[in-house]
Structure 1
Amino acid sequence: MTVRPLFKTRLHYIDNLRTALTVLVVLHHVAVTYGNIPAWYHFEPARDASGVALDIFVAVNQAFFMGFFFLIAGMFTPGAHDRKGGRGFLRDRLIRLGIPLLVYLLVLRPLAVFGSYDAVAAAAGRTDLPYWMFYLVTWDPGPMWFVEVLLLFAAVYALYRRRASGPPAPAATPAPPPLRAVVWFTAGLAAVTFLWRLVVPVGLYIPVIGLPTPSHLPQYAALFAVGVMAHRRGWAQALPARARRAGFAAAGVSTLLLLPVVALAPQGGLAQTLAQSVWEAVFAVGVIVGLLTLFRDRYAGQGRAAGFLSGHAFTVYIIHPVVLVAISTAVAGLHAAAIVKFALVAVIALPVCWGLAYLIKSLPHAGRVL
């Protein structure tokens, strides 16, 4: 059965969104470097109040941006499966996701973690810690956990399609999801996230697998599924312009009402867990709806510069840890406020990341993967 593709032309606004989200990923990890959250390869804890602003920036990003990546990935998963078939789809995912994952683990990750060798050796009480042992002790996929999870979601989708009677037909006329459906989805996501975090609290880290935010898995899975449904039903194209205002308003109001509760409630208590689960669900749905409609209506075009940025965004995602560690290590002796070092490293790192991504993608056969 041949399925008529819903996306007949390239959606440049989605490419532009990917670029913006990739910039946020880079800035997010620069903020972690100089804030108060020890969750990056190179970490310089803030010694002034500006570190709190970086922590807030990190918390706001974490509430929605990786879930947004999963939603976008879900939007293009059914079409890829329709074109390639089940085996071709999985083979393509293994090439385009699996090879970058292996390259990161075997080539880039050793460069990113090399600076922490002395600290790990000291913690182990050894001055002659073999590098292979250090490598295994510190094993995790870093930011490429996203690729790990996306590979799992792709496999689950392929299994679902194999067992289904046939691909669902796309909607004859794209229509936006009813408001009540969005409200119920948001409420359900908040409830499932709250229950999940009674078992998997915020801050839990899973070694080896390397998931830095397993507490957010309900959001990632739910938004990937929404993206799959959005592909067939044309939700992104059909959302009315007023959805942008409503989405941003919901995100803003929830932040004003709930973020203070998250900050002031007892750490790890039920009140904080509930407030954070509700805030993240409302904020994520609101911001995602707002940004989708904003970029669709105002940033749908793509010139040479925007095309260059979006065409190299995935490569930037893969290589940015090494770039950030190198630059932040180079300026480690600079005595300045946390926010100042954040701005300095960000201004240097973004063009370096895209320049290096261009060189890498220019290598023979690199374009087949990247």
Structure 2
Amino acid sequence: MTKPVNQPTAPPATSPRLFHVDNLRTALMALVVIHHSAIGYSNIPRWYYTEPPADPTGTLLDILLLLNQAFFMGAFFLISGLFVPGSYDRKRAAPFLRERLLRLGVPLLLWLLVIRPLATVGRYATAVDAAARQGTELPYWQYYLLSFTPGPMWFVEVLLVFSALYVLWRRLAVQDRRPSTSATVTGRAPGAVAIVGFAIGLALVTYLWRIVVPMGVSVLGLPTPAYLPQYAALFTVGLIAARRGWLEGLSRTAGRIGFATAALAAVGLVLDLVLAGEAILGHGTLPSLVAATCETALAVGIMLGLLVLFRERLGHQGRRRRFLSTHAFTVYVIHPAVLVALGYALRDVQAPAVAKFALLTVLGLPLCWAAAYVVRALPGARKVL
């Protein structure tokens, strides 16, 4: 859009660094590593290295995965939404999209061309042996295409789509035709009625969505499409919160109520799973409605609690937290290769599933950040990671 001649344009205001949000993102990144460490020893064999549990503790890991999945990726989308409006204001449409493609597209290519082959080398060897027993050959390119999924980088793909939709909305919106001003204001956070109304609406939409896309189904390579309503809703909440200053307006009482609600919802979700089993997955069942309601309450409640907790207690960064935050996204990109390598290294260890998960987590977390440090030290890596 051409600017009017001789009309002054105020520069976009720069917001102070939200260290508590950076620290929260680091904690969520650790949860990603923990989550994928648990999958390998659970009854949900959706990882690049798996050991089917031979003892009941595998069920504990299933419950951990169910509870974690209810909120942690939605939290990433909310945090991502917080930074989009300011970035767009500073760059405008075309530079913003170029920056998104650089910072998200290049790591996606790195995953597809380097990390995924490393993470799947063991599975490929197994597939080659199986093909040989049948008297056939399986070249790697064929295995790569037949087994293709974006892996954990599905998040990057969806975030690129959400970012593009935001740009489209801004280009069509009246506000984007005016000179940029300081759009971020410090205001009151939504009240209890608004939050509860949002949660009820999201739970209902999630329930209806899962009639068509139940939990456990993969669509276009997305491992958790049943949670797409939550991802889109929380990304939108992040966009609005950034404009209206909701983070600073959240009260400590809201945080405490959020944690209490999340705890009750977690109990309800586990009971629903125990009593109804696979009926919670979707298809319009009553247990599916209960699961969608409990998941939404858990997600909204724990996000309120975490945002307040990190703002009040973890709002500063020293050298250690800055290091963890700086390398967090690189950990997201490379952690599958690290965890798979550790999984094979520990495969001869005889221990209950939950114990092997704990061992993998204790070793994997520091090794992931150490590997991220090495990767970011490579020439040009810091421009995209």
> Normalized against structure 1, the TM-score is what?
0.96
Residue 275 of structure 2 is matched in structure 1 by 264
Unaligned runs of 5+ in 2: 1-8
| Matched-pair contact (CA < 8 Å) for 2:186–2:246 | no
Report which stretch shifted further, 248-257 or 129-138. 248-257
Is 1:291 the counterpart of 2:306? The answer is yes
| Matched-pair contact (CA < 8 Å) for 1:265–1:271 | no
Structural RMSD (CA): 1.6
Report which stretch shifted further, 138-147 or 360-369. 360-369
Distance verdict in 2 for CA 1:182–1:166, change over 3 Å? same
What SS does the corresponding residue of 1:259 show, helix, strand or coil? helix
- AA in 2 matched with 1:23: A
Is 1:65 the counterpart of 2:72? The answer is yes
Identify which of 166, 169, 173 aligns with 1:157. 166
Report which stretch shifted further, 85-94 or 352-361. 352-361
| Matched-pair contact (CA < 8 Å) for 1:68–1:288 | yes
Is 1:243 the counterpart of 2:254? The answer is yes
Report which stretch shifted further, 47-56 or 219-228. 47-56
Residue 334 of structure 2 is matched in structure 1 by 319
Report which stretch shifted further, 194-203 or 49-58. 49-58
Residue 210 of structure 2 is matched in structure 1 by 197
Task: Give 1 or 2 for the bigger CA radius of gyration.
Answer: 2
| Matched-pair contact (CA < 8 Å) for 2:85–2:239 | yes
Unaligned runs of 5+ in 1: none
- AA in 2 matched with 1:306: R
Identify which of 6, 10, 35 aligns with 2:17. 10
Quote the Cα distance in structure 1 between the aligned partners of 2:122 and 2:373: 26
**1:1-370 paired onto structure 2 within 5 Å:** 1-2=9-10, 4-5=12-13, 8-121=15-128, 125=134, 127-167=136-176, 170=183, 172-206=185-219, 209-268=220-279, 270-370=285-385
How many residues are matched? 367
Report which stretch shifted further, 32-41 or 259-268. 259-268
Quote the Cα distance in structure 1 between the aligned partners of 2:239 and 2:91: 16
Report which stretch shifted further, 16-25 or 116-125. 116-125
Distance verdict in 2 for CA 1:15–1:266, change over 3 Å? closer
Residue 3 of structure 2 is matched in structure 1 by none
What SS does the corresponding residue of 2:48 show, helix, strand or coil? coil
- AA in 2 matched with 1:191: L
| Matched-pair contact (CA < 8 Å) for 1:254–1:279 | yes
Q: 1:213-249 deviations in whole A, cap 9, x for unaligned?
A: 0000000000000000000001111101111111011
Quote the Cα distance in structure 1 between the aligned partners of 2:228 and 2:144: 27
- AA in 2 matched with 1:335: Q
| Matched-pair contact (CA < 8 Å) for 2:199–2:296 | yes
Quote the Cα distance in structure 2 between the aligned partners of 1:102 and 1:126: 34
- AA in 1 matched with 2:78: L
What SS does the corresponding residue of 2:49 show, helix, strand or coil? coil
| Matched-pair contact (CA < 8 Å) for 1:259–1:279 | no
Quote the Cα distance in structure 1 between the aligned partners of 2:115 and 2:108: 10
Quote the Cα distance in structure 2 between the aligned partners of 1:79 and 1:36: 42
What SS does the corresponding residue of 1:265 show, helix, strand or coil? helix
What SS does the corresponding residue of 2:356 show, helix, strand or coil? helix
Q: 1:21-45 deviations in whole A, cap 9, x for unaligned?
A: 0000001000001111111000101
Distance verdict in 2 for CA 1:4–1:43, change over 3 Å? same
Q: 1:172-196 deviations in whole A, cap 9, x for unaligned?
A: 4421112111011000000000000
Q: 1:69 Cα shift?
A: 0.1
| Matched-pair contact (CA < 8 Å) for 1:262–1:275 | no
Percent identity over the alignment is: 52
Residue 5 of structure 2 is matched in structure 1 by none
| Matched-pair contact (CA < 8 Å) for 1:247–1:289 | yes
Quote the Cα distance in structure 1 between the aligned partners of 2:350 and 2:96: 50
Quote the Cα distance in structure 2 between the aligned partners of 1:332 and 1:298: 39
| Matched-pair contact (CA < 8 Å) for 1:201–1:268 | no
Quote the Cα distance in structure 1 between the aligned partners of 2:279 and 2:124: 32
Q: 1:270-328 deviations in whole A, cap 9, x for unaligned?
A: 02211110011000000000000000000001110010000000000000000000010
What SS does the corresponding residue of 1:268 show, helix, strand or coil? helix
**Moved beyond 6 Å, runs of 4+:** none
| Matched-pair contact (CA < 8 Å) for 1:29–1:40 | yes
- AA in 2 matched with 1:280: E
Distance verdict in 2 for CA 1:3–1:195, change over 3 Å? farther
Quote the Cα distance in structure 2 between the aligned partners of 1:62 and 1:237: 27
Quote the Cα distance in structure 2 between the aligned partners of 1:319 and 1:299: 26
What SS does the corresponding residue of 2:120 show, helix, strand or coil? helix
| Matched-pair contact (CA < 8 Å) for 1:101–1:144 | yes
Q: 1:339 Cα shift?
A: 1.3
What SS does the corresponding residue of 1:201 show, helix, strand or coil? coil
- AA in 1 matched with 2:222: L
